[in-house]
Amino acid sequence: MLPRVGKWLIGASLLLLAGAAAGGIWDRAVDRSSSGHDVALLYVGADDCAPCRVWQGGAGARFRSSAEFARVTYREIKSPTVLDVLKDDYWPQDLRRYRDQLNAGAGVPLWLVISDGELVERGFGESQWAGTVLPKVKSLLR
């Protein structure tokens, strides 16, 4: 038999877990205190994509250790091959509405910037990451 405090802790933990599971489409909460926007970044890549691996190990690693990363919700969609990147098997149900806004020839690595639930920017390739996607994320966080 657990002491009363132990039962309370278990109950509170279960309540927190249930709330987190029901809390929305994203894996973690977004800090809205400074920008007032929910900002999410969705990375789409493939295991057999050399440019994806370059980004993951270079600019992607730098971004994941940045102050901006701590303020966005980040999710990844990765398929084994570039040919499968748009298949339902790799897209959780809650993200398919964003995938459905892409054309069949979407290249990878691909990033979707989502603000307050709306797709506001997309780009593929390292040059669009640096020239379009990252600047958009930063502007939304201001």
Q: What are φ and ψ of residue 112, in 5° steps?
A: -120, 125
Closest CA to 30 of 18, 38, 20: 38
Domain of 101, in residue numbers? 28-141
Q: Is residue 121 part of a domain?
A: yes
What's the rounded Cα separation, in Å, for the pair 92 and 77? 9
Q: Is residue 44 part of a domain?
A: yes
Q: Is residue 54 part of a domain?
A: yes
Q: Alpha carbon 29 to chain centroid distance?
A: 11
Residue 16 CB contacts under 8 Å (≥ 6 apart), including other chains: none
Query: Which CATH number is 44's domain given?
Result: 3.40.30.10
Q: Number of folded domains in the chain?
A: 1
- On whether the CB atoms of residues 54 and 62 are closer than 8 A, the answer is no
**Residue 105: predicted pLDDT:** 80
Name the pTM for this structure.
0.75
Q: Is residue 71 part of a domain?
A: yes
**Residue 36: predicted pLDDT:** 67
- The rounded average pLDDT for each run of 10 residues, N- to C-terminus, in the chain (142 residues) is 45 36 39 66 98 97 97 97 96 97 90 97 96 97 93
Q: Which two tokens stand for residue 87?
A: 């298949």
What's the rounded Cα separation, in Å, for the pair 67 and 45? 23
Q: Is residue 22 part of a domain?
A: no
**Residue 59: predicted pLDDT:** 97
**Residue 16: predicted pLDDT:** 34
